[in-house]
């Protein structure tokens, strides 16, 4: 039986974008079943008492350099979003809808790209609409769906599940009960999947 790799993510996290650029190929190499778990990072921070690294200015400066090193190593584009931090609640609810309604791959790619390559202001509903439309997704239908209670509840439940299993930030990976935090632990994730 193929191992399962759970990927807890939030579009507002730049290191999660880096992980997202690598995770599909990693799962394929490992023969693992990749399960995307949209969560609300703000909710995780609130529940655990954690905070964004950029709240320590020196850490924020360093993180920019550190992420650029990984982007270079991975050979992927990356730009810091000038509108960071972003309230990702509507975006993450959209991810839940996208999973249910069959356009997750396109949505995931569009969101991470808008945030961490194209530097879009994803706090602005009009900008979100443009990004979604450009990805070939029906905005009106998406907006309606993100307002539904079961979608809201599912995002909340996944966020609570992540916290209950030990998560305190993003990206967080699980291989069974083994948790890995950070895009810089993909090597250990891959080892766990092959172990």
Q: Which residue from 28, 69, 100, 109 is in contact with a second copy, where contact means CB under 8 A?
A: 69
Question: What's the CA gap between 103 and 85, in Å, rounded?
Answer: 26
- Minimum CB separation of residue 107 from a second copy in Å reads 29
Contact 19, 171 (CB under 8 A): yes
Residues of span 111-170 touching a second copy by CB under 8 A: 163, 166-169
Q: Which residue from 66, 119, 121, 161 is in contact with a second copy, where contact means CB under 8 A?
A: 66
Contact 85, 12 (CB under 8 A): yes
Contact 116, 79 (CB under 8 A): yes
Q: Which residue from 59, 100, 109, 144 is in contact with a second copy, where contact means CB under 8 A?
A: 59
- Minimum CB separation of residue 8 from a second copy in Å reads 13
Q: Which residue from 122, 135, 179, 186 is in contact with a second copy, where contact means CB under 8 A?
A: 179
The site string for a second copy over 7-46 (x = CB under 8 A, - otherwise) reads ----------------------------------------
Strands 33-38 and 172-175: unpaired
Judged by CB under 8 A, which stretch of 3-11, 57-65, 140-148, 153-161 contacts a second copy?
57-65
Task: Choose between 65 and 126: whose C-beta lies nearer to a second copy.
Answer: 65
Burial per residue of 23-58, b for 16 or more beta-carbon CB atoms within 10 angstroms, e otherwise: beebbeebebeeebbbbbbbbbbebeeeebeeeeee
48 binds a second copy (CB under 8 A): yes
Site for a second copy, rule CB under 8 A:
48-50, 55-59, 61-62, 65-66, 69, 163, 166-169, 179, 181, 184-185, 188
């Amino acid at each position: 039986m193929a191992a399962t790799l759970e990927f807890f993510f939030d579009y507002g996290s730049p290191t999660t974008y880096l992980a997202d650029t690598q995770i599909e190929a990693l799962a394929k190499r490992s023969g693992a079943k990749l399960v995307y778990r949209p969560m609300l990072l703000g909710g995780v921070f609130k529940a655990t008492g954690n905070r964004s690294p950029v709240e320590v200015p020196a850490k924020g400066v360093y993180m920019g350099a550190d992420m650029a090193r990984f982007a270079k190593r991975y050979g992927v584009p990356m730009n810091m979003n000038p509108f960071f931090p972003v309230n990702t609640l509507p975006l993450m609810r959209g991810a839940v809808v996208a999973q249910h309604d069959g356009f997750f791959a396109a949505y995931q790619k569009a969101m991470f790209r808008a945030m961490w390559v194209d530097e879009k202001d994803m706090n602005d509903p009009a900008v979100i609409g443009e990004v979604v439309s450009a990805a070939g997704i029906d905005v009106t239908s998406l907006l309606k769906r993100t307002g539904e209670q079961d979608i809201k509840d599912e995002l909340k439940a996944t966020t609570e599940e992540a916290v209950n299993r030990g998560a305190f930030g993003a990206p967080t990976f699980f291989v069974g009960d083994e948790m890995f935090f950070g895009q810089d632990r993909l090597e250990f994730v891959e080892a766990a999947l092959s172990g």
